[in-house]
Structures are given as structure tokens and as C-alpha cells.
Structure 1
């Protein structure tokens, strides 16, 4: 595991997992949210995101968490390992609400500078419909990958068991 793409619904814990994996594997971690959002939630734009993501992927080791359709295809093709956190809708909605409360009036460590935590209807609805609208497309993309280790976790307990085993072998 030297090039890891972590994908899944908002609130699933992608950034938390990326940080843990980075510590276990001693690999640099990149959060797409931190790259995409400039201070005060100003986006850098699609082309700049693609450029920055491609720069990261030219390095030998990386863990990249996030969805961002503009870069997903290339990330999945370049990754030697893909981790898909495919948790229940309720679990992910709980995750975004918990995160909103935890980081109220603060910027998360995995977010761009001065992007105070927020929860709007658009994002809530995206998470609410992710398993119905987005997850099937993710599985379609994953089915086309060759020579890539693919791990799909449907619960935090499955993921924790995997991480415990990984720590033993690292």
C-alpha cells in the first residue's frame, strides 16, 4: 500500500481513516477538501483541483481522501489500493451532524484554512442520497479496475478490524 484512494459518503470518516492510515504506513496524507477550499469556502476550481491532484499522484507515496468526480477516475487508476467506506445513510447523516456539532465555529484539521464547519441543505441532501445515486456509480468504476486492491467496508467495526490487522503487519 503506497498509493491509497479513500472514497465514500460525507460523514463516513474518510479523513479520519486517511490520518490513521498515514500514521500506520508512514505515507503523506492529502485531503481533497483542504486542497479544493480556499479561505471562507472559496473553491479553487475544477482545473486547479485536477492540476494539484495530478502533482500529488506523481509522487511515490500518497493517501488521498475525498470524492470529487473531476479527479476520481484518475485517482482510482493510479491507486494500488482503494478503500470505499460504504456505510448506511443513517450512519453518514449522524457523522455529518456530529462533525458539525464537534467543530461548531471552528475549522476541521482536514479542511481548508478558515473554512468553519457548516452544514447546509445541499450537503445534507447529497449525503442523504449518496447510497442511492452515487454508490452504484462507484461500484461501476471499481469493477473496471485491474491490479488494484479494493476494500469495501460497510461498518466502522469492519474497518477497525482491518486497521488492527494492518497494524500487526506494518
Structure 2
């Protein structure tokens, strides 16, 4: 069984690495974005977080249904729920400049946006968000991610460049 957690700043390549791990290991994939946000009634309304208790129920369902998996996201509060079951931890700790470049080059994510245009409309906001990674103290911050990494007792790797996308 393979149980891997991948986390880091927005634009660090979490989804790319997770998709590669799925192909190599033939395991299930959970993008925490799919369980972290409440459904929105309007394109113009700002997204809001789903209560953590509801997200946890969805994560538990995924864990019950899958014995081998990769879970990826930037939510330290949700990742903390998963870490006790993980075999391996991968922290994508890329320089901000690389994360911004990756965000600008990312393909359309249909599971997150109704169109490439809707995704691109959020790009400036996303870049501002990426640039605040080292200054924030919330669940999405470098500080919070570093604490997760430091506390994990199993196999763990930290990548500081884009070379992680090919990692098995």
C-alpha cells in the first residue's frame, strides 16, 4: 500500500506531481480543493471554506474507499487529519518566483473552474496569494507547512525546485 501526502504553496506543482504518482503507482488521488470549499451559487461570489467537520467526513469517505492513495493540497488543517495514516510526505517548498511561473503556465483545471477564461480571471488574485506565502500565518502558510513537515515521523522529502514533477 502506498499512502502519500503532497503539499506546498499554490503553484508549487502539487497536482502535477500527484498525477504522476497516480500513473506510476496506480493509486487513488484526492485534491483537497474538492473537499475544502463550499459549493458556490454564483461565479461572482467569493468562495468560502466548507466547515472542517464536513471536509473531514469527505476525506474519511475517500480513505475508507481507497487503501493506496495520494492526497494533495495546501490546507494544513485538513492535512493534519490525514498525516497519521500517511507513509510518505512530500513538501514542495519552491521559491516564490517558480510558483508564480507555474501558476501562469498552468493548464485549465476543469474540476475547479467552469472555463479557462474563469481560471485566468483569478490569476492576478492567485499570484498575490502566492507572494504572501512566507508572510501569512494561516493554514495555507509556509510556517504551517514547515510545522507539518517537521512533525512528521515517517519518510519525507522536501523539493526546492521544479525537478519534483518527475519523482516516482
Sort the Cα spacing of 1:114 and 1:43 in 2 relative to 1 into closer, same or farther, 3 A. farther
Question: C-alpha separation between the residues in 2 aligned to 1:160 and 1:14?
Answer: 8
Structure 1 counterpart of 2:84: 77
Moved over 4 A (4+): 39-44
Sort the Cα spacing of 1:121 and 1:140 in 2 relative to 1 into closer, same or farther, 3 A. same
Paired residue for 2:146, among 129, 139, 156?
139
Is this contact kept in 2: 1:22–1:63, CA < 8 A?
yes
Measured after TM superposition, the shift of residue 98 of structure 1 is 2.1
1:10 equivalent to 2:10? Answer yes
Greater displacement, 53-62 / 33-42? 33-42
Deviations 1:96-129 (A, max 9, x none): 1222xx43xxxx14x3463741425553332102
Structure 2: 5+ residue runs without aligned partners?
none
1:129 equivalent to 2:149? Answer no
Question: C-alpha separation between the residues in 1 aligned to 2:125 and 2:84?
Answer: 29
Aligned positions, number: 154
Greater displacement, 54-63 / 89-98? 54-63
Measured after TM superposition, the shift of residue 54 of structure 1 is 1.9
Structure 2 counterpart of 1:45: 50
Measured after TM superposition, the shift of residue 28 of structure 1 is 0.8
Q: TM-score, normalised by structure 1?
A: 0.77
Deviations 1:44-87 (A, max 9, x none): 71232121112222331111111223312112222111111110
Is this contact kept in 2: 1:56–1:62, CA < 8 A?
no
SS in 2 for 1:124: helix
1:149 equivalent to 2:148? Answer no
Q: TM-score, normalised by structure 2?
A: 0.77
Structure 1: 5+ residue runs without aligned partners?
none
1:64 equivalent to 2:71? Answer yes
Is this contact kept in 2: 1:35–1:112, CA < 8 A?
no
1:20 equivalent to 2:20? Answer yes
Task: Name the Cα RMSD after superposition.
Answer: 2.5
